[in-house]
Copies of this chain bind each other. A is one copy, B any other.
Amino acid sequence: MPLARIDLVQGKSAEYRRTIGTIVYEAMVDVLMVPKNDRFQIIAEHPADALIADENYLGIRRTQDCIFYSTDAQCWRTVEQKKAFYKVVADTLHARLGLRPEDVFINLIEVQKEKLSFGIGIANTQK
């Protein structure tokens, strides 16, 4: 979970935005075995007309509250683990924030471990 981007419509509370970040981070740790405290997130707000999520692609009814979660992540686990991750994130966002599961868009991209520096100018050598 080197760096995650969370994009959503502007106007939500700071607490709402922060909680999205916390929920995604906790799901990473609990479901995908990402190391504890590996939390690096950029949470960006956008005007409503700057976020375009098709209202019915694949039969899923999306609204203006759709959030986009993107991360370039190392060491991905099995497809089953990824499926479990999607479900936990959507379920928890719904339970804690009332966010519709239809409004949760997740985009994961695999990267190699040598290509990160978490700071002090050195490459990451952890798993």
Majority SS at the chain A contact face: mixed
Leading 4 A-B pairs by shortest Cβ distance: A90-B121, A106-B117, A108-B115, A86-B117
Inter-chain contact A44/B46, CB cutoff 8 Å: yes
Q: When the two chains form their complex, are residues B114 and A112 in contact, meaning their CB atoms are under 8 A apart? A: no
A105 near B119: Cβ-Cβ < 8 Å: yes
CB-CB contacts of A15-38 with B at 8 A, as 1s and 0s? 001100100000000000001011
Number of interface residues of A (CB under 8 A): 67
- Is A97 interfacial (CB-CB < 8 Å)? no
Most buried by B among A51, A101, A123: A123
Query: Which residues of A from 22 to 79 have beta carbons under 8 Å from B?
Result: 35, 37-46, 49-54, 56-58, 60, 62, 66, 68, 70, 72, 76, 79
Partner of A114, one of B56, B79, B123: B79
Task: Select which of B39, B70, B87, B109 is within 8 A of A52 by beta carbon.
Answer: B39
In the complex, 8 of the A-B residue pairs with CB atoms within 8 angstroms, ordered by the A residue number, are A2-B107, A39-B53, A40-B57, A42-B51, A82-B123, A90-B120, A108-B111, A108-B116
Q: A39-B52, A72-B70, A90-B121 are in contact. Are A111 and B109 (CB under 8 A)?
A: yes
